[in-house]
Amino acid sequence: MKALGIIAQKGGAGKTTLGIHLAVRAGLAGLKVLVVDLDPQASATAWWQRRQEDSPALVQANADALQEVLKKAEEQGFQFVIIDTAPHSSLEAVACARLADQVCIPTRPAILDLDAIGTTTELVADVGVTARVVLNACPPATRFGEPRIVTEARQALQSYGIPVSDVAISQRAAFSHALIDGRAVSEFDPKGKAAQEIERLWLTLSKELFQ
């Protein structure tokens, strides 16, 4: 069993949305998937309650119970777990980083968001977990390539010493529309650009986790 933690101690980074879309894509790949919702706002749980499909499974927990939740998940045959953490909670972030096989750090490309991930990158570096930054809610690429703000964000993030995913997730309406009735973009519009971005990100992450 592999566990991917999604940590963003600044609100608005889109970690829950990203986690949901990745969880569904992993399920479509044939994996038995569990989402662990550590966020008291329970946004992932609200989405899951609207969902008609059996996969992924979801459980709400707190940081103190995370180790036991992961132990039970492995005993129950889950192959992939996504841990959705709350913003502004160092306790949950540390617990997640210590127990995850890899951490995904989503951030918007704006300078204030980039400045704010320093605490998170220091946390994962202290724990020693493999981590990757994912630029999220970016302006979509054009036929000339990715927008300048995304390229500049990649350059700025080099100072943190954490690898940045080659896949940038764009700000697309499909990411929000799909969640309304408990779906994800891979189901809502499987041939759309949003689903293609999640596909590329999933292939990258799964190769690193399951190689």
DSSP 112-148: HHHHHTHHHHHHHHHHT-EEEEEE-SBPPPBTTBS-H
CATH number of 2-202: 3.40.50.300
The pLDDT of residue 10 is: 82
Minimal CA–CA distance to 90: which of 128, 113, 43, 122? 122
For residues 33 and 80, the answer to whether their CB atoms sit within 8 Å is yes
Q: Is the pLDDT of residue 197 over 90?
A: yes
Q: Quote the CA–CA distance of 44 and 160 in Å, as a whole number.
A: 29
3-class secondary structure, 6: strand
**Beta-bridge partners for 51:** none
Q: Could you tell me how many helices (H) and strands (E) the chain has, helices first? A: 10, 6
The predicted model gives 25-33 an average pLDDT of 97
Q: Quote the CA–CA distance of 3 and 180 in Å, as a whole number.
A: 26
Q: Which residue has the higher pLDDT, 90 or 42?
A: 42
Q: Is the pLDDT of residue 162 over 90?
A: yes
The predicted model gives 66-76 an average pLDDT of 98
What is this structure's pTM? Answer: 0.95
**What average pLDDT does the chain have?**
94
- What is the per-residue DSSP string for 76-118? TT--EEEEEPPTT-HHHHHHHHHH-SEEEEEE-SSHHHHHHTH
Give 90's pLDDT tier (boundaries 50, 70, 90).
confident
Q: How much of the chain exceeds pLDDT 70, in percent?
A: 100
The full 3-state SS of 168-198, as one line of letters, equals: CCECCHHHHHHHHHCCCHHHHCCCCHHHHHH
Minimal CA–CA distance to 116: which of 8, 5, 4? 8
Considering only 20-24, 89-93, 95-99, which range has the smallest mean pLDDT? 89-93
Q: Quote the CA–CA distance of 209 and 3 in Å, as a whole number.
A: 8
Q: Quote the CA–CA distance of 111 and 95 in Å, as a whole number.
A: 28
The pLDDT of residue 6 is: 96
The pLDDT of residue 153 is: 96
Q: Is the pLDDT of residue 211 over 80?
A: no
Q: Is the pLDDT of residue 142 over 90?
A: no
Q: Is the pLDDT of residue 180 over 90?
A: yes
* CA 27 from centre of chain: 15
* CA 34 from centre of chain: 13
Q: Is the pLDDT of residue 209 over 90?
A: yes
The pLDDT of residue 12 is: 85
The predicted model gives 84-95 an average pLDDT of 86
Q: Is the pLDDT of residue 178 over 80?
A: yes
3-class secondary structure, 173: helix
